[in-house]
Amino acid sequence: MRAVHPVPTTRENLLAFRITGKVTKEDMHHMAEMANTAFDRFETVDMLLIFDDFDGQETGAMFDGEAMKAQFRSIMNVGRYVVVGAPDSAQHLIEAMGAILPVKAMTFDKGEEDLAWTELEARPSTATGTATPGPL
């Protein structure tokens, strides 16, 4: 069962993912493919990660060629990086990276998901044609 689930949104240049369980290398690869496709289509992409019952990641999950390419490209292509329910160990890192990189990084507590969507001027969508690009 996959741990990373794309969330369709009302904005084409917003990638949103709900993360549940333990993230595998395959999860990272598929998420990176979607990010790289969005980076090809749009000059700037916002990202929203929503952590629900996150159980860490598989050893080596980040060491995937597609994932490394997406991480490198995100430095220039991500405008806002918004995280809801970040694990404690990641929250401080996200905020610190936001101060260093040309990315507006923000974290919200689990109960503040609606505030994160408001910050991104978007909502989850079920309508065809307004979804996050590509299936996972």
CATH number, domain with residue 99: 3.30.750.24
By DSSP bridging, strand 14-23 and strand 4-6 are antiparallel
The domain tally of the chain equals: 1
The DSSP secondary-structure symbol of 12 reads: T
pLDDT digits (tens, 9 = 90+) for 45-79: 999 999 998 887 888 777 888 888 888 898 889 99
Can you tell me whether residue 41 is helix, strand or coil? helix
End-to-end CA distance of the chain: 12
Write the pLDDT tens digit of every residue in 27-49: 999 999 999 999 999 999 999 99
Residues contacting 15, CB < 8 A, separation 6+:
6, 34, 35, 38, 45, 46, 47, 48, 132, 133
Whether residue 124 is contained in a domain is answered as no
Q: Is residue 83 part of a domain?
A: yes
> Is this prediction's pTM over 0.75?
yes
